[in-house]
Amino acid sequence: MPDGHPFLEVKDLKVHFPTDDGVVRSVDGLSFKLERGRTLGIVGESGSGKSVTSLGIMGLYNKRNADVSGEIWLDGDELVNAGSETVRKLRGDKMAMIFQDPLSSMHPYYTIGRQIIEAYRVHHKVSKQVARKHAVDMLGRVGIPQPDRRVDDYPHQFSGGMRQRAMIAMALVNDPQLLIADEPTTALDVTVQAQILDLMHDLQSEFNSALIVITHDLGVVAELADDVLVMYGGRCVEFGGATTIFERPEHPYTWGLLGSMPRMDRPNLDRLIPIPGLPPSLINLPSGCAFHPRCRFEPRTGGLGSTVRPELVRAGGSNHLVRCHLPTEERQRIWAEEVKPELEA
């Protein structure tokens, strides 16, 4: 970067939805940075604000039903306070998104080819023929067999996995520098998933793009992400390099997440260990630490957990942040001596 700014910087992002029951604080003060060529994995409970964050970055909320505040810097442009026209230009060109549900984000009445061609021509002044060639090319690159024939198919003629690949082709048609993939492989079987992960990895190295991958699948995160952001109740509760998060996590919620997942690389457990309790209400977040009603280490914070909101502070790893009152040494000790042995038992 010429001016020393990171490629993408999100600062104190808030996305609040006023509703009849009260204000839903879906994202409440989120900050992170991402450079080109790097991949950020975002994980967290269902409803923790992952999709809202990405839609917020893409500028897909209008001011009438959402309060968006904070700053989003993309390659020197600030997006939160920019006009909708500016953000619209950047979208599909400099940044693109693969949505959680491929069926609802493709138009059922237009052929796959037509949708990709139009996405391309919005940002490139080329003839239809040239754009079509590009579309066929792109479908071939995402692994659609016989792309020159399948380009004229409608979405319903594609299987789930093919639709997902077509979505990816559409998102990539303008070589975006920032790609956000929201649960890109959830509906796919593992062989197709593996192809798509490899594809995203290859395209990223080819175009040196910045990639944000949102997923419930910690295996996918471990394979793709350089850094991992763990969200809980609309906030970041832990951030760090992938190795740090998987090998030396320090937040009790992250521990719970790792513990609830069955793993093929370990002996089979008799019983999975879910995190007890229910997800928090985003209208009335619990006092103090939002995770405290479900945290078995809360008693060790001497009452702080239920009364004082912890800040995001430096933790043991390099570039490692955690939102928890326990002292770093104590968290490291609990992980190494209590939690990790439990998970590996």
Q: Where does this chain bind ligand ATP (CB under 6 A)?
A: 17, 19, 24, 26, 44, 46-52, 160, 282
Structure tokens that stand for 326 in this block: 């326990």
Alpha helix stretches (DSSP H) within 65-187: 84-90, 112-123, 128-141, 147-150, 160-172
Nearest approach, Cβ of 162 to Mg ion (angstroms)? 15
Nearest approach, Cβ of 87 to another protein (angstroms)? 30
Nearest approach, Cβ of 263 to ligand SF4 (angstroms)? 23
In eight-state DSSP terms, residue 338 is I
321 touches ligand SF4 by CB under 6 A? no
Give the three-state DSSP class for 6: coil
Residue 104 buriedness (CB in 10 A; 0-12 / 13-18 / 19+): exposed
26 touches Mg ion by CB under 5 A? no
Question: Looking at 48, 51, 115, 204, which residue binds Mg ion (CB under 5 A)?
Answer: 51
239 touches ligand SF4 by CB under 6 A? no
291 touches ligand SF4 by CB under 6 A? yes
Q: Which does 282 bind (CB under 5 to 8 A by kind): ligand ATP, ligand SF4, another protein, none?
A: ligand ATP
Tell me which residue of 328, 298, 319 sits closest to 245, measured CA to CA.
Answer: 319
Nearest approach, Cβ of 50 to ligand SF4 (angstroms)? 19
Is the Cβ–Cβ distance between 52 and 224 less than 8 Å? no
Q: For ligand SF4, which stretch binds (CB under 6 A), given 13-21, 115-123, 169-177, 293-301?
A: 293-301
Give the three-state DSSP class for 144: coil
Q: Which residues of the chain form contacts with another protein (CB under 8 A)? A: 44-47, 145, 159-161, 186-195, 197-198, 216-223, 225, 242-243, 246-247, 256-258, 260-269, 271-275, 278-279
Give the three-state DSSP class for 218: helix
What CA–CA distances, in Å, run from 242 to 116, 219, 238, 248, 331? 34, 11, 11, 10, 18
Residues of this chain that interact with ligand SF4 (CB under 6 A) are 252, 289, 291-292, 295, 297-298, 301, 305, 310, 324-326
Residues of this chain that interact with Mg ion (CB under 5 A) are 51
